[in-house]
Amino acid sequence: MARPIPVLTSFPGIEEWRQSLKQTVKTVATPKVPWNFAVANKQGGNYLTWQLVEGADGYIVEISTTGDFSTGVDAKQLPGNENISYFDTVPTSGGAAPPIRYYRVRATAGTVNQPQSVQGIATGVISSTAIAPNDNVTTSTTTRDITTTDGTQAKTGIGDYRNILPRD
pTM: 0.74
Contact indicator for 42, 140 with CB cutoff of 8 Å: yes
Structure confidence at residue 154 as a pLDDT band (50, 70, 90): low
Distance (Å, whole) CA 46 – CA 127: 10
pLDDT given at position 43:
92
pLDDT given at position 160:
39
- Of the two residues 75 and 94, the one the predictor is more confident about is 75
Q: HSE (CB half, 13 Å, CA atoms) of 94?
A: 0
pLDDT given at position 166:
42
Which of 94, 164, 167 shows the shortest CA–CA distance to 134?
A: 94
CATH class of 26-151: mainly beta
Contact indicator for 40, 129 with CB cutoff of 8 Å: no
Span 82-137, pLDDT tens digits: 999 999 999 877 767 789 999 999 999 998 888 999 999 999 999 999 999 888 89
Residues in the chain: 168
Span 38-74, pLDDT tens digits: 999 999 999 999 999 999 999 999 999 999 999 889 9
Alpha helix (H) residue ranges in the chain: 14-25, 150-154
pLDDT given at position 128:
97
CA distances from 110 to 51, 104, 159 (A): 19, 20, 19
pLDDT given at position 3:
77
**How many helical (H) and strand (E) elements, i.e. helices and strands, does the chain have?**
2, 9
Sequence-separated (6 or more) residues with CB below 8 Å from residue 57: 79, 80, 81, 108, 109, 110, 115, 116
